[in-house]
Amino acid sequence: MSTDPGAHGQAWQRRRLSSRTLIWDIYLTLANKVAAPLRSGHIVPAGAVAHAADGRWTGFQPPRPGDSRSACPALNAMANHGILPRDGKNIPFPSIISKVHQTYNFSETFVYFTSNYVAHLLGRSYARDTFDLADISLHNGIEHDGSLTRLDVALAPDQGVPYPPFIRELLASATGQDPTTGEAILTPTDLGRVTARRRVQARAANPQYSLANIHAKFSASNSTSLLRIFGGKVKDLEVMLLEERIPDGFESSTKAKHGLTMFSFQSTVKAIDSAIDEDAAAREMEMEMRKGEKME
């Protein structure tokens, strides 16, 4: 146990900030229930960086050699469009709040809490220091083994690079259908099933595999964003996850006036988490393997 009074003071302040942020998040959740939802075509505010009036997302440029990218496709896409610094470096923590809110309609409390948590993991001052996107890929910080879009860090140290076979497997798992367009969409059950399969694969392929409970929750949270922000739409997610580009016409599936709050986010996290059954996935994969052997 630390006897450093400065450390105790910092811990107390973090708890205080967390409590205040959670209270404010609950307030925004309640405010969203009584406020009129944002209208389609008006979810991204006028004048938002890289968003044209006709719904196109402009300025896309793939990362250049030496640019910093992370294990988070959504932040990488923001840098690729110039919403965040294109090189992905020296980003002040507070600067991402309004930009993420405008681009994806996460609530400002959600972004504030998450960016504060990242600053704490990196041992940096939220108010004074900066980060590079690659810093977010700190292993077993927020980044974790068994990702749906990346190889484990032990197998692929550069977590800024997506792994297309996993992404295609994810998108191919979609069983839902958009009631308006008829297009394929991912469901919580789909995400639970493919997550379980990925964990079984990762445990077999990576001798250093680990997944603590908190990182399992991060895993379900990351998947929740695919549903609550992107609507599970396979067509849009193919562009976002493979190219790390924001699709033209994209606007957040969350129409709440104050954005997607942490409190309202949790119901989908729980739905995905409850659909993850690694034992069932292992049995299913073994049966597939045996079937393949018989066909040879």
pTM summary value: 0.92
**What is the CATH architecture of 9-31+45-295?**
Orthogonal Bundle (1.10)
Token couple for 53? 């009036």
- Domain ranges in the chain? 9-31+45-295
3-state DSSP assignment of residue 41: coil
Query: Residue 185 in contact with residue 233, Cβ under 8 Å?
Result: yes
Query: Residue 190 in contact with residue 175, Cβ under 8 Å?
Result: yes
pLDDT at 168: 98
pLDDT digits (tens, 9 = 90+) for 42-91: 999 999 999 999 999 999 999 999 999 999 999 999 999 999 999 999 99
In this predicted structure, the answer to whether residue 234 has a pLDDT above a threshold of 80 is yes
Mean pLDDT taken over the chain: 94
pLDDT digits (tens, 9 = 90+) for 123-167: 999 999 999 999 999 999 989 999 999 999 999 999 999 999 999
Query: Residue 144 in contact with residue 128, Cβ under 8 Å?
Result: no
3-state DSSP assignment of residue 155: coil
pLDDT digits (tens, 9 = 90+) for 4-25: 444 444 554 556 667 899 999 9
Nearest to 198 by CA among 232, 155, 233, 138: 155
CA 85 – CA 66 distance, rounded (Å) = 13
